[in-house]
Every structure is written in C-alpha cells, then in structure tokens.
Amino acid sequence: MDIVVLASGNGSTFQAILDNCQHVNVTALVTNNKNAYAIERAKKANIPYIICQPNETQHIEHKPELVVLAGYMRIVDAEFLRRFPNTINVHPSLLPRFKGLGTYDRAIAESVCEHGATVHWVNEELDAGAIIAQEYFTVYHRDTAEVLSDKTKKIEKELYPKTIDKIAMGMIPLLHAPSPLPPFGTWQAKAG
C-alpha cells in the first residue's frame, strides 16, 4: 500500500513507521516545517520530501491509498479530506477524552487511572474521527505529565505501525474505496 506521511518536527513516529511497517511503501514525507528533523530521516531513507508553503503551485504526483499524520502540527481542512479521505492520526490520549493539545497535563489534573494512545480516522472535527485502535497503561499517583508522555510515546510507536500494517493488509478496511485521486498537492518536492 502506498502511503504519504505528514510530520512537523523530530519525526520519531515517522521513523517508527519506516522501521516497523512491513506492508507499506512510503512514497513521500510532507512537512510544514523546513527545519523538521523528519526531513533528515526521509533523506536517509531515500524518500522524497515536500515542504508545503502557502504560495507554492507546483503539483506533486503522489496518489497515496492512505495518508498518515505523524506529529503533523497543522489541522487538515475539508478540501484536503475530500481529496484524501483515508487519512489517519495517532493521538496521545484515550479519545474521546483530552482532544487537542495538553493531554498529559489535563490527564494529571483530572487524576485519571488510565492513559494511552488512540489511532483514529481524521475528519473535519478535531480528534473526533472514528477510533481504529487504542492501547492504554495504568497511571499511578506519583506519575507526572513527563512520565505519561514517555509511556504514551512508547505505545504510539508500537501501536501506530501495527495499525497501519493491518490497514495495508486489509485487516482494517479503508473508510473509502480507492478511486483515482488528484495529484497530492501544491507543494514543491525536494530530492531525498
């Protein structure tokens, strides 16, 4: 299955996908941050990368079957989802709790007993798409937001690639049947 990964920062989740997904072909990395370390990871893996800027008009011929958000710090809009309806995200909480940012601090403030990660389909509402998979751990009274962050990131890097592979193998169906898609976007490609 051809996928495109969107990432904005370090790219550790992107790297986990590269290292652990057995049934996908990553055709490109898309980032909104020209300084993202994810770009270096793409270069090392010989994967083309795209830096999306608002005024660029050059079209890229990527037609992924699945778009994977991996620490992409922009909200995708309705037009993006119309063109790429099979888009997934991993979120650092047990959705529907703690949508958006600041999940660890909010979980500690509410003295939750469990925390974890959720893989979900992306829709137009923030962190509200259908849940595909979740994994959790017990939160202890001495745990801090940093401890929750470390434990959650570990889960994300195991759960996300496993879930992506299940989608690629047809064990989890796509939301929308594949159809001819338009070019991936209006981003300028840089050789990997």
The token duo for 8 is 């904005």
Catalytic sites, residue numbers:
91
d(CA 137, CA 73): 25
Pick from 45, 73, 10, 167: which is nearest to 159 by CA?
167
Contacts of residue 154, Cβ cutoff 8 Å, sequence gap at least 6: none
Burial class (CB within 10 angstroms; exposed 0-12, middle 13-18, buried 19+) of 72: buried
The token duo for 189 is 């490609």
Using an 8 Å Cβ cutoff, are 101 and 75 in contact? no
d(CA 75, CA 7): 12
DSSP-based three-state secondary structure for 185? strand
d(CA 147, CA 155): 13
